[in-house]
Amino acid sequence: MHVLLPSLVMQTWLRVRLGFHTGPQVLVGACLGSVTATAWFAAGTGWVLPALHTTAGGPQALCAATLAAGVAFAVRNVAAWVREQAMLRTREDVAAAARQENEQHDSAQDGDEAGEQVQLVHSAALVTVH
């Protein structure tokens, strides 16, 4: 615990400093986390572990369930990351298409303005010739 304490203090300070939480939110979270951890520890050591050791294959079942949960967690997060990357690429593609369309529109307007200027110069030349 002595090794973790500086890390916990720094993480708590960072949560507040970066604006993720307020000081009271961090304190309430620490209290709720402590109560929850204590309850899980008491349930685990008082009820779950004794039940696992009296059941044939209990510790192995716990290891298998933990492994399955870890794999499911990793698969879910990787799939979410892949979907997020696909959405980002789609947004970038849409933005690039919009920029290209705007550039084409701007160049078309520039061409129209140049054509109008040529017509004005041509009209002015006709007027001065006559």
Query: Using CA atoms, how far apart are residues 61 and 71, in angstroms rounded to an integer?
Result: 15
Say whether pLDDT at 78 is over 60: yes
Count CA atoms closer than 13 A to 48's CA, side-chain side.
Answer: 10
Domain layout of the chain by residue ranges: 1-54, 57-130
What pLDDT, in 10s, does the model give residues 106-129?
Answer: 776 665 555 555 555 555 444 554
- Mean pLDDT of the chain, nearest integer: 83
- Give, in order, the Cα–Cα distances in Å from 93 to each of 60, 98, 123: 49, 9, 45
1: confidence class by pLDDT, cuts 50, 70, 90: low
Checking if the pLDDT of 86 tops 70, the result is yes
Summarised one tens digit per residue, pLDDT across range 94-103 is 888 888 888 8
